[in-house]
Amino acid sequence: MRYKSSNIIGHLGASMRVRIREGVAADRESFWRATLETAWQDIPEDERADMDRAMFDRYFRQAAGPYLDDPRNTLFIAEDEGGRIVGHTLLGQTLPFYSSKPYGFVFDVYVAERARRQGVGRQLLEFAFKHFRDQGLEKVKLEVAESNEKAKPLYAKMGFKVERHVMGRLLR
């Protein structure tokens, strides 16, 4: 397993010392619990209104499971000094249709409510940057819901820029 310990100063001057380690099978349920809730909240309200939550959870596990199971992707877990999980990130590589050059992709990044605004998200992203540089990659991307106003400022501070917009329209 790969371990990292760091102490990064968060947005409000708060900091939380975390250890980032590679995820193991026992971490999967924690990943799913957090990711299912985040994914549900990220669905635009006009789409979510007609959805059954239990059906969505089953569907999402089936659709996203291959990303978690893919040996080319790695789940990393952030733990506080007491060994409690305070966040995670799922990292992998992707090759776009429009380029022959692969890039790193942050499939998921999550910070527990109790650990937000304490530098955990920043540490997870810095860990991702190093992980991808170690793989010889030159670029990293991620996707964020338009409604995720809490995460977008962090991503901007970490150097991410909007490259594409996905737009939707109901056909009713």
DSSP string, 59-72: HHHHHHHHHHH-TT
In this structure, is residue 94 part of a structural domain?
yes
In this structure, is residue 15 part of a structural domain?
yes
In this structure, is residue 162 part of a structural domain?
no
pLDDT at 41: 93
In this structure, is residue 62 part of a structural domain?
yes
Q: pTM of the full predicted structure?
A: 0.87
Angle CA 30–31–33, to nearest 5? 65
Task: Give the bridge partners for 92, in sequence order.
Answer: 105
Measured CA to CA in angstroms, residue 105 lies from 7, 49, 83, 138 at distances of 24, 30, 27, 11
Q: How many residues does the chain have?
A: 172
**CA proximity to 35, closest of 61, 13, 66:** 61
To the nearest 10°, the Cα dihedral for 29, 27, 151, 67?
-80
Q: Both ends of the chain: CA-CA distance in Å?
A: 50
pLDDT at 14: 55
In this structure, is residue 164 part of a structural domain?
no
Range of the domain at 123: 3-157
CB atoms within 10 A of CB 35: 19
Q: What is the tally of structural domains in the chain?
A: 1
Question: Which residues of the chain register pLDDT less than 50?
Answer: 1-13
pLDDT at 1: 37
CB atoms within 10 A of CB 141: 13
pLDDT at 169: 86
**Backbone phi, then psi, for 152, in 5-degree steps?**
-55, -40
Cα distance between residue 153 and residue 151, in whole Å: 6
In this structure, is residue 21 part of a structural domain?
yes
The CATH number covering residue 141 comes to 3.40.630.30
In this structure, is residue 166 part of a structural domain?
no
